[in-house]
A and B are shown apart, each in its own frame.
Chain A
């Protein structure tokens, strides 16, 4: 491995202390998540359109993006599954229910996790470095990834998790209160709560707060078209680059995700790609090369790609953590294919956590774990050679 990606843990003692401080912030965020109800009750206002919560914690609200079928069936149009749902049943996400021939979302304004994270945790490295992002999630996901780290909420139905009542306006106010210029829809799969994402983004915008989405990218064209103009950035978890892997380990499909990435580019929405590299499953040089070429040729070489380290989780506890050498190999392959911003994640202290100028090779943004240590960018450009660096910097 050569260049900026070379492993050179150069964190100083001071860096370490700052990283620990950031970790402390994250710990605070975790506690915040644990007391989401209290936060919500603090900000929720009556008369804001939050529907009554039924026994069992469900708060049904008419869904968008579906069509009615004969016999009181409906077909959801939110994600590529296109679930056909009979009366009383739910889609594969578990949060959209057919009630007497109409589709309802059960999670609008019902987050099960609310926290303040650094934007680096998303990770979004080219979006307002170092700022806090009010991060929230409801229950539900349209995938069933065997390596899911948030499976307790992502693979649950809404009545199986504790949820707060938090209106879109409440989310925006909470972000302001925590001096967070971003709201991040994250942790589970925001696609399955798109109505809430939409309304949060509208409310946030009215208070000068921007919204970002952290998604698996498995969303149909129409809802994405409706959401994209409201968002500041979109991070896509590209699970791998083989259909077989998507089917066997995610219960999803690759092609629709690639379609979403292409659409995001057409929408002009800032996009970053994250790949969780799992030993033996999606870590071959060939697969990484194919993925890198796709990003380069169809999205552009300046789209950041993060290769993150897998640790055993959920149903994949039989595999070891990803060797750092494997990540470095992926980094080199991607760089070799011409990608300009390739990062490694979950490897604190690695040089590839930082942003380096593709023009002069100078350091632009120095990070350690989730902590921002230094931001040398000047109006979105390298302070040494003046090269413009793509991203959302102000």
Chain B
């Protein structure tokens, strides 16, 4: 376990330095960051979700079918992030959301393998803009539950210097934390290392929860996600997302919809995947999922599938998350800003 210890020491120093450089509580207040204290009725009344699509982002046919036009990907992602931060450029938006002293974690969802995970090009773009926004590459950690999943999605692991790409793997807290109806060990990367998070999920169907976009991605920060799938995940997702470890660090939710999937998820099911060629980005974690749900239902209608509710898979955790004050679930109070 020497490697783990080395990694921990490295990250500990990083976190210590970050804390010294960035008074988080004050920064959060000054930046008017998302994440109101959870509690019934304490959430925002309205939300904006940026939705950027660029046709032609994914090659539809020919020998290059399925490959991504990186410039179009960056263009869409940049437009979405900029709008989410209410700025003209993604760099300005990220500068508004993050401080140079932050240790920024980009939490991915890579269980769909290469075909249904955030692409490395997406992460590279975010990292580049973070750097331009003043975040030192040594203070950026791209992470997922396991290194195996990261590799499976096409990432190359690295523990620095520079940007780190790593799985939590065995690096869970020793103690168990109670949260809502359950208790878990949390990833030490989340607890001890990162001070601010970009949640980068994938827009897809989930056979038990209904939808997996942003909120469901938090299952990857606890050691026992297998214990959290009863009742469509509805009793669990909101409380996990409301955990101060999560809600207190989340600054931006980005939902990768370059390739989306309307059925058969969360694993990759090619017959139900489609190139949506876009991204959602928002500072309202609940609104992101509400919009993602709408997009999935739309595609399901096109494909002649029943609604998720008709299949008994309505993602009830979205409304439940609003009830905990985590954001806006009601589409009537969400502005989808097409950019």
Give chain A's interface residues, CB within 8 Å of chain B. Answer: 54-56, 71-73, 84, 86-94, 98, 144, 151, 155-157, 159-160, 251, 314-315
- The complex places the Cα of A150 from the Cα of B112 at a distance, in Å, of 32
B183 at interface (Cβ–Cβ under 8 A)? yes
Evaluate contact between A92 and B172: CB separation under 8 angstroms.
no
User: Which of chain A's residues has its CB closest to B182's CB?
Assistant: A144
Give chain B's interface residues, CB within 8 Å of chain A. Answer: 111-113, 146-148, 169-170, 172, 176, 178, 182-183, 207-208, 223-224, 226-227, 229-230, 263-269, 272
Q: A86-B265, A88-B111, A159-B169 are in contact. List 16 more A-B contacts (CB 8 A).
A: A56-B148, A56-B169, A84-B207, A84-B208, A86-B267, A87-B267, A88-B112, A89-B267, A92-B229, A94-B227, A144-B182, A156-B223, A159-B170, A160-B170, A251-B227, A314-B176
Evaluate contact between A155 and B264: CB separation under 8 angstroms.
no
Evaluate contact between B223 and A71: CB separation under 8 angstroms.
no
Are A251 and B172 also in contact (CB < 8 A) when A56-B148, A87-B267, A315-B178 are? no
Give the distance to chain B from A92, nearest Cβ to Cβ, in Å: 5
Q: Please, could you name 29 A-B residue pairs with CB atoms under 8 Å apart, sorted by A?
A: A54-B148, A55-B147, A55-B148, A56-B146, A71-B264, A71-B269, A71-B272, A73-B264, A84-B207, A84-B208, A86-B265, A87-B267, A87-B269, A88-B111, A88-B266, A89-B267, A90-B226, A93-B226, A144-B182, A151-B176, A157-B224, A159-B169, A159-B170, A160-B170, A160-B172, A251-B230, A314-B176, A314-B183, A315-B176
Give the distance to chain B from A187, nearest Cβ to Cβ, in Å: 18
Q: Which residues on A sit within 8 Å (CB–CB) of B268?
A: 87
Q: Which residues on A sit within 8 Å (CB–CB) of B223?
A: 156-157, 160
User: Which of chain B's residues has its CB closest to A100's CB?
Assistant: B267
Give the distance to chain B from A259, nearest Cβ to Cβ, in Å: 20
Give the distance to chain B from A182, nearest Cβ to Cβ, in Å: 31
- The complex places the Cα of A90 from the Cα of B229 at a distance, in Å, of 10
Give the distance to chain A from B305, nearest Cβ to Cβ, in Å: 12
Q: Which residues on B sit within 8 Å (CB–CB) of A55?
A: 147-148
Q: Which residues on B sit within 8 Å (CB–CB) of A151?
A: 176
Q: Which residues on A sit within 8 Å (CB–CB) of B208?
A: 84
Give the distance to chain A from B209, nearest Cβ to Cβ, in Å: 11
Give the distance to chain B from A221, nearest Cβ to Cβ, in Å: 22
User: Which of chain B's residues has its CB closest to A99's CB?
Assistant: B267
User: Which of chain B's residues has its CB closest to A71's CB?
Assistant: B264
- The complex places the Cα of A109 from the Cα of B189 at a distance, in Å, of 31
Evaluate contact between A157 and B269: CB separation under 8 angstroms.
no
Question: Which of B113, B170, B266 has its CB near the most chain A CB atoms (within 10 A)?
Answer: B170
Q: Nearest 6 pairs between A and B by C-beta?
A: A87-B267, A94-B226, A71-B264, A88-B267, A86-B267, A88-B111
Evaluate contact between B266 and A86: CB separation under 8 angstroms.
yes
Evaluate contact between A157 and B226: CB separation under 8 angstroms.
yes
Give the distance to chain B from A106, nearest Cβ to Cβ, in Å: 11
- The complex places the Cα of A98 from the Cα of B268 at a distance, in Å, of 12
Evaluate contact between B266 and A89: CB separation under 8 angstroms.
yes
Evaluate contact between A88 and B176: CB separation under 8 angstroms.
no
Q: Which residues on A sit within 8 Å (CB–CB) of B112?
A: 88
Are A72 and B172 also in contact (CB < 8 A) when A155-B224, A157-B224, A159-B146 are? no
Give the distance to chain B from A63, nearest Cβ to Cβ, in Å: 15
Q: Which residues on A sit within 8 Å (CB–CB) of B169?
A: 56, 159
